[in-house]
Every structure is written in structure tokens, then in C-alpha cells.
A = this chain, B = another copy of it.
Amino acid sequence: MGEKTFIDWLRGRIRLGPNVPVGPGDDAAVIRPDGEVVVTADAFLEGTHFPADAPPARIGHKVIAASVSDVAAMGCFPVASFVTVGFSRARDEAFVRELGEAMIAAAEKYGAPIAGGDVTSWDQPLAVSVTVLGETRGLRPVLRSGARPGDRIFVTGSLGGSLSGRHLDAEPRVREGIFLNREAGASAMIDISDGLSADLSHVARESGVGAVVREAAIPVSEAARALEKEDGRAALRHALDDGEDFELLFTVAPDRAEWLRGSWSFDLALTEIGEITEEGVFIERPDGVREKLEPRGYEHRWRE
């Protein structure tokens, strides 16, 4: 399927809203944004971001979900996605179509239909790049740099175990991110892609603050516990360092924390794990001893 064929195929399949007056097929798409625009771009490379034998439907889902997750972490509304795909000629047409269908479905599900892109075959492994645009609709984007000493640190869902394939089923926390922005006034937010230890360090660094998290409070996933049995690495370490959880890590002012605990109605765990401090990022063991929390997350999990 050449680029032109793909664009034609795509045009017949996607449904664009009135905020995307021009979609695939021209030199550029046209977006009519409500407010400011947030933009995120990520590459997904075979053997690095997904294994070579991953099913195309799961790859397609992941590349969109992981990208939309960045818009969720800004507390903004996804609007449109743009994908470029370089795929090996050794892949059959069914592979490319399933990949495309999964991307189209995921992008529509999260409110960011595919509005453009480009498909090329080459003699190399699959290389996908995804750009997602979001809009603020009158809200301010939640940055990594807004955490202040005394703010409470929360995380959604449970962490760890992406290594066992969980990353392919990522669910971006779009509605939760908007709620945390608009209703809870989150002061800083990030999605957990590098791992809690690394992403908390990013927030601390960008905000010029420190943090302490309580070991006993970390929501360790079942997948992390299962992995501990396989590889002998503590489930807690998986939860701290595995990354690609695509859960939201965020901070709220102390006076908003109690309101948030009482108002959270999503079918997703919400856990308060610690507090923003003046400096240094620490983990507090159950016996009260604080240890430095080193950012040990990998950037790229699937390096083979």
C-alpha cells in the first residue's frame, strides 16, 4: 500500500469533527483550535518501543495511547493525531492494515482522529512517529514545573510490570487529566513513561523542589508482583522503575488534597504517595528511614 493509497484509505475511514475542517489529502491539515494548542511528538521503533513479534493491533493501539497520554498529562483535550509510518516490505498488507485500523480506532476513541501523515515502505523494521495535538479550552496546561513544597503527591492506577507486555495496552488518562486540571487544580502533572522514580525526579527538577514518597503507599501492580516471581527483582522496584505505566503522577496543594480524595469518582485507583519538599527526592521506608530515590527508569524498554 503506497502513500497515496493509504491516504485514500484513511480518508474513507476517519471521521473528523468541525474543529478539523481539512483532514488528510492536502498539503497540510487545518485545525480550528479552542484555546492554546499542546503538541507532543514521539517515535516508536521496532525492537525498542515494541517487540518485533507484537501483534499490529497492539502496536497501533500503543503508539496512539502513549502519545495521547502526553496530552492527558497536560490536563488538556486531545484534538487530532498525525502519524508517519515506515514499514518493512517484508510485512504483508494485512499487517499494515491492522496497524492502521488500530491507530484509527484508538485515535478516535481518545478524541484525536488521525488528520494526516505519511506511509512509506522501506527495507527496515517498523518505525512509527506520532504527533498529537490537544487544546486548552480555556484551561491552563498543567506543566511539570508547578509543584510547590507542601503539595501532596498522587498517582493514578497501579505501577510496574510493563516489561511483561502491559505497555502495549496503555490507557491514557484523558478524562482524569482534565478533571485533575479543571476541578482539582493540579499544580504539576506528568505521565509515568520513564518510571515513577525518574518521572518524579523530572517534576522535582522542573519545579525546583524536592519530594518524599512513602514506600508503603506505592500502588504496586499485579504484573509487578508476577514479574518478581519470574526475575527475582522486588515488585516495588518494578513499580518504581519499570516505566511505561502511562498513569498520571501529579501534585495538588494541601487544601485541595482532601477535597480530591472525597471527589474522585473514576473507576481507577487514586493513591496519595507522598509530599513535595524543599529539596532532594527520597523514599521513606516503613521504618521511617529515608533513602535517596535514584531515577533508575529506562528510557526504552524494548531494546533487544
Contacts and interface: CB of A to CB of B under 8 A. Distances in A.
Interface of A: 2-4, 21-22, 25-33, 36-43, 45-49, 70-71, 73-74, 76, 80, 82-86, 115-118, 120, 122-125, 127, 129, 131-134, 136, 141, 143-145, 189-191, 206, 299-300
A244 to B, nearest CB: 14
Nearest to A84: B43
A25 to B, nearest CB: 7
- Copies per assembly: 2
A38 to B, nearest CB: 4
Q: Chain A's interface: helix, strand, loop or mixed, by majority?
A: strand
B32 A84 contact: no
A18 to B, nearest CB: 12
A129 B80 contact: no
22 contacts: A26-B144, A27-B40, A28-B39, A28-B40, A28-B132, A28-B141, A29-B38, A29-B39, A30-B36, A30-B39, A31-B37, A33-B37, A41-B84, A41-B116, A43-B120, A47-B122, A47-B124, A48-B122, A86-B127, A124-B125, A124-B127, A127-B129
A254 B37 CA distance: 38
Contact of A26 (B122, B129, B145): B145
B84 A120 contact: no
A22 B37 CA distance: 10
A47 to B, nearest CB: 6
Contacts of A27: 40, 70-71, 73-74, 144, 189-191
The 7 lowest CB-CB distance pairs between A and B, nearest first, are: A129-B129, A43-B84, A41-B82, A28-B40, A127-B127, A28-B38, A27-B73
Contact of A131 (B33, B82, B141): B82
A210 to B, nearest CB: 19
Contact of A127 (B30, B45, B141): B45
B26 A116 contact: no
